[in-house]
Amino acid sequence: MVELKTPSQITAMREAGRVVAQALAAVRAHAAVGVSPRELDDVAGKVIADAGATPAFLNYLPGFAKTPYPAVTCISVNDAIVHGIPGEDPLAEGDLVSVDCGAFVDGWCGDSAVTFAVGEPAPADAALMEATERALHAGIAAAVPGAKMGDVSAAIGEVCRAGRFGLLAGYGGHGIGRRMHEDPHVPNEGRAGRGLRLRPGLAIAIEPMFNIGGRDDSRLDADGWTIRTVDGTRAAHFEHTIAITEDGPRILTAL
């Protein structure tokens, strides 16, 4: 069931989104050669705790997982697409790092992700990041009152296919509010004009995940969480929580 939020509830969600944005900014600022994802996870955890917020991912147990999620962030390096568990291996020059973070403030959730390179990105990685982030913003721009979910999905998928990237089939964005994952599903590919009509008060996380190899398949790591490309090519992930308002889409996880 899709639950619409009131304007004051969206204002409350913005506070959760702000904390997530601050955590991601702090992680990005700390990322460097020799720093481990585990240390970056601690940075995010401290920002969330200092804000009086609650991590949304820690101990989360969705239907698709066998074990509760063990960290504050997902940090997916190089061929890891999403849900990477932050580990002790230090980052190296040129690593492609996707950081996904969620937090609750006053019972409302924000969820956002960014991808960046450690140091100077390889040209192919820079192109991948640019396209994935552009697809996120194309999806957001399509999320206007009266449009259909298929318009959002089509906007994302067209950027992916035009760049000959692959996408993570079966995964996508989601409704969000008092829970991190609510209805509706937000596919990263679809047909314009189809699907749910978008109305003011709808809050969704939009999250394209593209890979360089151009394949749509993936494999689950032995850790039960990390999803990797099958061909070993690198992937990028960008995500914002947004609300559809009378005035158009509003990004709740901007700084």
Q: Is 151 in the site for Co ion (CB under 5 A)?
A: no
Instruction: Provide the 8-state DSSP code for 185.
Output: E
Residues 6+ apart with CB under 8 A from 127: 163
Interface pick for ligand MF3 out of 18, 83, 148, 228 (rule CB under 6 A): 83
CB closer to ligand MF3 out of 6 and 67: 67
Which region among 80-88, 132-140, 148-156, 198-206 touches Co ion (by CB under 5 A)? Answer: 198-206
Residues 6+ apart with CB under 8 A from 123: none
Q: Report the nearest approach of Co ion to the CB of residue 171 (Å).
A: 9
User: CA-CA distance, 183 to 215, in Å (whole number)?
Assistant: 27
Picked from ligand MF3, Co ion, none, the partner binding residue 57 (CB below 5 to 8 A depending on kind) is ligand MF3
Q: Is 228 in the site for ligand MF3 (CB under 6 A)?
A: no
CB closer to ligand MF3 out of 83 and 250: 83
Q: Is 224 in the site for ligand MF3 (CB under 6 A)?
A: no
| Residue keyed to tokens 């994952």 | 181
One-character DSSP codes across 34-77 = T--HHHHHHHHHHHHHHTT-EESSTT---TT-SS---SSEEEEE
Interface pick for ligand MF3 out of 100, 125, 151, 182 (rule CB under 6 A): 100
Taking alpha carbons only, the member of 226, 178, 229 closest to residue 67 is 226
Tokens for 42?
């601690």
Interface pick for ligand MF3 out of 7, 34, 62, 232 (rule CB under 6 A): 62
User: CA-CA distance, 60 to 55, in Å (whole number)?
Assistant: 9
CB closer to Co ion out of 28 and 179: 179
Q: Is 252:206 a contact under the CB 8 Å cutoff?
A: no
- Residue 15 CA: distances (Å) to CA of 10, 106, 190, 238: 9, 9, 31, 20
Q: Report the nearest approach of ligand MF3 to the CB of residue 72 (Å).
A: 9
Q: Is 41 in the site for ligand MF3 (CB under 6 A)?
A: no
Interface pick for Co ion out of 95, 111, 151, 189 (rule CB under 5 A): 111
Q: Is 111 in the site for ligand MF3 (CB under 6 A)?
A: yes
Q: Is 151 in the site for ligand MF3 (CB under 6 A)?
A: no
Q: List residues near ligand MF3 by CB under 6 A.
A: 57, 60, 62, 69, 74, 83, 100, 102, 111, 113, 174, 207, 239
Q: List residues near Co ion by CB under 5 A.
A: 111, 205
